[in-house]
Amino acid sequence: MKPVRIGLIGVGTVGASTALVLKNNALEIGRRAGRSIEVIHASRRTISQGMPAGTEAIPLTADPFEIVNNPDVDIVVELIGGYEPALALVMKAIENGKHVVTANKALIAMHGNEIFAAAQAKGVNVVFEAAVAGGVPIIKAIREGLSANHIEWLAGIINGTGNFILTEMRDKGRDFQDVLAEAQALGYAEADPTFDVEGIDAAHKLCILGSIAFGIPLQFSAVYTEGISAISTEDVLYAGELGYRIKHLGIARRTESGIEMRVHPTLIPEKRLIANVDGVMNAVLVMADKLGPSLYYGPGAGANPTASSVIADIIDVARTIDTDAEKRVPHLAFQPGQIADIPILPISEAITAYYLRLRVDDKPGVMADITRIMGESEISIEAILQKEPEPGITQATIIMLTQKIREKQMNQALAKIAALSSVNDKIHRIRLETLDAN
């Protein structure tokens, strides 16, 4: 059987590792794929940097369109990231009848519907395991391993940078800006960390996970996104006193009214396994109706972990390269004609519990006013923690945990509480999820 020939676009950290693993593990990979797999052409922006040691014989170009137009290439592997020229390259590869493997979560989240429609029309496959959670095979688990199940919800730590920052804040009492600077120095965060700390990277990934979990079109613009830059060390410590940890979660949940898709800081009980996922590691917890809860854990980035997922996708394509397109695993888990346009709910319709931190005047009647407003708004209080002021300070800190309530009701209640003359500064709110079976 003739080899499967790879065209590699991008020979950075992940691309170089992919080329090396394909060469060094060629025998084992061939045994799994049923045929040999070899890189026959590669591109990188700075051609003078060459290919990694051991793969120098691979022809290299500075023009990635040479790869997608090479008639000898069977599978194009796109590892340059971003929207352009990645989109143009992928669409041209599909037009030329080539299969595509990509690790580009932004591309799939923003343009996946267009890409998959073109791929189906052309009878080629586009696979993207490495786009979410690096080396963790979460897409394959949901798309194939859980295909007998009705997915109820999933919650994931899917950005290692944010998780590293929150872990350091909790374990060492450091503030956000201090840890962010270290994350940048260590290479965990970019010079512009916006995509990581403001939740955009996680929202790209959640968009993909939600689509394959519920069989809906990719809708990145509908994902509610909130970052961690406003989280204080104070909140992290108070959460710990109450038996919770703060994690930056992506949450997708099916409800009777539609689907919640939201990324934000979240309190979760410290006894949950996912609450103990620290540092730069990723984890996704999936609740399925027949299996129940299952947790998928591992490195969410890095050269070898991501290359592991890229090559697993290459092997999958190699196994089915001569198979009729209708017999392959659908791009978004569900058959194309079965993708349902279920509404994505606005954040105002989300139902969750809350952590609230208030700074109030230390005088009689303040707590009564706050609890009265909560009662009138039909919000039940689960726990209250009051921090007495230090001598000479006239303000006290109140921490409250509520039971589940619709967000728009909470917004209305907080507006009334904030209007009280005894309430000072901004009310700090963090959503709370128990992540149990209910």
Catalytic site residues? 205
Distance CA 39, CA 17 (A): 12
3-state SS record for the chain:
CCCEEEEEECCCHHHHHHHHHHHHCHHHHHHHHCCCEEEEEEECCCHHHCCCCCCCCCCEECCCHHHHCCCCCCEEEECCCCCCCHHHHHHHHHHCCCEEEECCHHHHHHHHHHHHHHHHHHCCCEECHHHCCCCCCHHHHHHHHCCCCCEEEEEEECCHHHHHHHHHHHHHCCCHHHHHHHHHHHCCCCCCCHHHHCCHHHHHHHHHHHHHHHCCCCCHHHCEECCCCCCCHHHHHHHHHCCEEEEEEEEEEECCCCEEEEEEEEEEECCCHHHHCCCCEEEEEEEECCCEEEEEEEECCCHHHHHHHHHHHHHHHHHHCCCCHHHCCCCCCCCHHHCCCCCECCHHHCEEEEEEEEEEECCCCHHHHHHHHHHHCCCCEEEEEEECCCCCCCEEEEEEEECCEEHHHHHHHHHHHHCCCCEEEEEEEEEECCCCCC
Cβ contacts of 331 within 8 Å, gap of 6 or more = 112, 116, 119, 120, 125, 126, 127
d(CA 280, CA 301): 8
Residues ≥6 apart with Cβ < 8 Å to 425 = 359
Q: Which residues of 362-385 are buried (b: 16+ CB within 10 A; e: fewer)?
A: eeeebbebbeebbeebebeeeeee
The answer to whether 116 and 289 have CB atoms below 8 angstroms apart is: no
C-alpha span between 304 and 29 (Å, rounded): 15
